[in-house]
Amino acid sequence: MTRKFDFLVIGSGIAGISFALKACRYGKVALLSKSSLDNSNTAYAQGGIAAVTYSPDSFEKHIADTLNAGDGHCDLAAVEKVIKEAPEQIDELLSWGIDFDRDEKGKFDLHKEGGHSEFRILHHKDNTGFEIQQALIRKLRSEKNIEVFENYFAIEILTQHHLGEVVTMHTPNIECYGAYVLNQETNHIHTFLSKVTLLATGGIGSVYATTTNPDVATGDGIAMVHRARGVISDMEFVQFHPTALYHPGERPTFLITEAIRGYGAVLRTQDGREFMHKYDERGSLAPRDIVARAIDNEMKTRGHDYVFLDVTHKDAKETKKHFPNIYKKCLELGVDITKDYIPVSPTQHYLCGGIAVDLNARSSINRLYAAGECSCTGLHGANRLASNSLIEAIVYADAAVKDAVKYIGTYTWNELIPDWDDEGTKLPEEMVLITQSFREVEQIMSTYVGIVRSNLRLKRAMSRLEILFKETEDLFDRSVVSRELCELRNVISVAYLIIKHALRRKESRGLHYTVDYPKRMNRGEYRE
Ligand code: FAD
Ligand code: SIN
């Protein structure tokens, strides 16, 4: 039941796989994915990956755009790190066989998205993430020092708590020794002991009723660290993408990339009027928080469920060439984007907060690193600049390897960790209640903790969630563990953290907008 590795990687998106590909030069790696390897947010990325490539772009401009989108809440050191290290990491991706579009002269064909002052998005048509995910998996399969565990679900990270010690958030030197992991084919729970563990568990979209994220996005890493008493930051900053395709019932919601607005598409109300200039001089290309709030306002004041995105004025051949998947998807639903307006509405898309890490991707728990969407590096601040997350994931995964190899020689496996104890547990009588509780969490979060918030809504969400929390913890204590039950626990923890951090922030900033405190405070005025 016990497996031992130098590095344990939990997650098979860009953060997890790129870490594994580098760490395997220094030791044996186990890489876990709770689903198939290619089921990740990474595989869904459309627009591309932001990096400074050619003049007139510059590090200074990319840094300024990131800070501006982040609304005064970014960590400058993290911003400088990601943007300055991006070109080197892009070269690494190219060396792994990832193909970005180029023009006839062989220069990269760069796209532009909201909040970017220059064309700087490297992309592979309109399905960049799929191209990256496939190339990473090909490379992963060729590495002998990496053992891949598909359909293995990490339940808990192991700490002194599992040795019977009392661990609180004030315990100095909490240490991570690996994880308890459920093999979903055999239902056995294995102990994976590691010298170093990386959490790369991705997003939290499943906490909301509509999201662009696939169903694996249940915030497991964040919930595990929260239960292990590690530090979680900035959870109130949930990003809603302004332009998800309006097609009720489809999950995940299909994204209409922001790059299409960089290409010239404009937002219109249902009566065909442009409205974004009422809200921001950058119009349809303002940063995401501003555009999503503007659309939300237009929809609410008019009683509409969607607005339109119009790209009909652009050359039809060029549109099909740049956005072939969006063209195909919309056509299947009867919308020819070269002739018809596209119905769109804002949808949960990304989380800026997560497991707090330093510039070396170290979490507050020793021997535990985090990278990618589950982490909070300080790069995005209160609102992520489009296409800054894939690059953040690979830069911080690289930082984690570089830091971990300095210390790994001093770590040993903690062989005192006991096997998972499931004595006295039985199968839950009514599985249907787990599904029902899941739906309730999504409804609570979408109704009360969306784009526009208030104290009343947040408090109501919290009291509804408390009931679900008590019921679920009780069920967990007496039940045989299943992935469904663990994911329910995790989405409840994530929802709790979002509400708690939102209630704490007595101002509006970036993605957190509350009618009770509509203004942004000055730095000195804000107290947590
Ligand atoms: P993911 O790619 O989500 O991978 C997480 C992995 O963790 C999955 O393999 C999952 O199975 C595994 N996992 C989770 N929990 C467990 C567990 N308990 N046990 C075992 N395994 C587990 N960003 C950009 O920069 N540019 C874009 O153009 C862009 N477009 C996007 C479009 C869409 C539709 C979406 C959804 C996101 C987009 N993003 C984009 C955001 C970006 O894709 C993600 O932030 C990024 O890919 C996250 O990578 P990751 O490695 O952190 O996590
Ligand atoms: C998009 O293509 O619009 C998504 C880009 C991102 O989320 O960074």
387 CA distance to ligand 2 middle (Å): 5
Q: What pLDDT shows up at residue 304?
A: 98
Fold classified for 2-236+352-410: FAD/NAD(P)-binding domain (3.50.50)
Is residue 526 over pLDDT 80?
A: no
Enclosing H/E stretch for 221: helix 220-227
pLDDT digits (tens, 9 = 90+) for 494-509: 999 999 999 999 999 9
Is residue 424 over pLDDT 90?
no
Specify the domain boundaries for CATH 3.50.50.60 within the chain: 2-236+352-410
Single-letter amino acid code for the residue at 317:
K
Task: Report the alpha-carbon distance of residue 356 to residue 362 in Å, rounded.
Answer: 8
Model confidence band, residue 428 (pLDDT cutoffs 50, 70, 90): confident
pLDDT confidence of residue 525: 63
Centre of ligand 1 from the C-alpha of residue 304, in Å: 31
Q: Over pLDDT 70: what percentage of the chain?
A: 99
- Best mutation site among 18, 40, 355 for ligand 1 pocket (most ligand atoms within 8 Å of CB): 40
Q: Identify the residues whose C-beta falls under 6 Å from ligand 1.
A: 10-16, 32-35, 39-42, 44-49, 128-129, 153-154, 200-203, 212-213, 216, 220, 255, 350, 372-374, 387-390, 393
CA of 256 to the centre of ligand 2 (A): 9
Number of the ligand closest to the Cα of 243: 2
Instruction: Examine the pLDDT at 324 and tell me if it is beyond 60.
Output: yes
Number of Cβ atoms within 10 Å of the Cβ of 468: 20
**Cα–Cα distance between 488 and 471 in angstroms, integer?**
11
Does the structure show a pLDDT above 70 at 528? Answer: no
Q: How far is the CA of 224 from the centre of ligand 1 (A)?
A: 17
- Strands (DSSP E) contained in 354-453 are 354-356, 368-370, 375-376, 452-453
Mean pLDDT of 183-187: 97
> Which phi and psi (to 5°) does residue 198 adopt?
-115, 125
The structure tokens listed for 146 are: 């990496």
DSSP 475-518: HHHHB---HHHHHHHHHHHHHHHHHHHHHH--S-BTTBEETTS-
- Mind listing the pLDDT tens digit for each residue in 235-284? 999 999 999 999 999 999 999 999 999 999 999 999 999 999 999 999 99
**Has residue 330 got a pLDDT over 80?**
yes
Q: Is the CB of 47 under 6 A from ligand 2?
A: yes
Nearest C-alpha neighbor of 448 from the set 464, 425, 430: 464
Q: What percent of the chain has pLDDT over 90?
A: 95
Strand partners, 191: 2, 180
| Ligand 1 centroid, distance to 430 Cα (angstroms) | 31
Ligand 2 binding pocket mutation candidate from 241, 267, 350 (most atoms within 8 A of CB): 241
Confidence of residue 403 (pLDDT cuts 50, 70, 90): very high
| Span 310-317, average pLDDT | 98
Atom of ligand 2 nearest to the CA of 384: 8
CATH 3.90.1300.10 corresponds to the domain 242-346 = no
Q: How far does the centroid of ligand 2 lie from the alpha carbon of residue 232, in Å?
A: 24
Closest residue by Cα to atom 10, ligand 1, is: 11
Q: Delimit the CATH 1.20.58.100 region(s) of the chain.
A: 431-480+482-514
Which atom belonging to ligand 1 lies closest to the Cα atom of 490? 18
Mean pLDDT across the chain, nearest whole number?
A: 96
Ligand in nearest proximity to the CA of 217: 1
- Backbone Cα Rg of the chain: 22
Instruction: Assign 515 a pLDDT band (cuts: 50, 70, 90).
Output: very high
Domain with CATH 3.90.700.10 in the chain: 242-346
- pLDDT of residue 524 exceeding 70, the answer is no
To the query of whether residue 288 is one of the catalytic residues in this protein, the response is yes
CA 43 – ligand 1 centroid, Å? 7
409 vs 10: CA distance, rounded Å? 21
Calculate mean pLDDT across residues 108-114. 95
Q: Among the atoms of ligand 2, which is closest to the Cα of residue 126?
A: 2
Question: Which residue in the list 120, 261, 288, 520 is annotated as catalytic?
Answer: 288
The predicted pLDDT at position 426 comes to 87
Atom of ligand 2 nearest to the CA of 387: 8
For atom 40 of ligand 1, the residue with the nearest CA is: 45
The pLDDT of 9-28, averaged and rounded, is 98
Q: Which ligand is closest to the CA of 37, given by its number?
A: 1
Strand 513-514, strand 452-453: pairing = parallel
Tokens 């442009």 belong to: 274
Instruction: Assign domain 431-480+482-514 to a CATH class.
Output: mainly alpha
Look up the pTM and report it: 0.97
Q: What is the mean pLDDT of residues 378-398?
A: 98
The 10s digit of each residue's pLDDT in 216-243 is 999 999 999 999 999 999 999 999 999 9
- Ligand having the closest approach to the CA of 182: 1
Mode of pairing for the β-strands spanning 307-310 and 342-351: antiparallel
Characterize 269-295 residue by residue with b for buried, 16 or more Cβ atoms within 10 angstroms of its Cβ, and e for exposed.
beeeeebbeebbeebbbbbbbbbbbbb
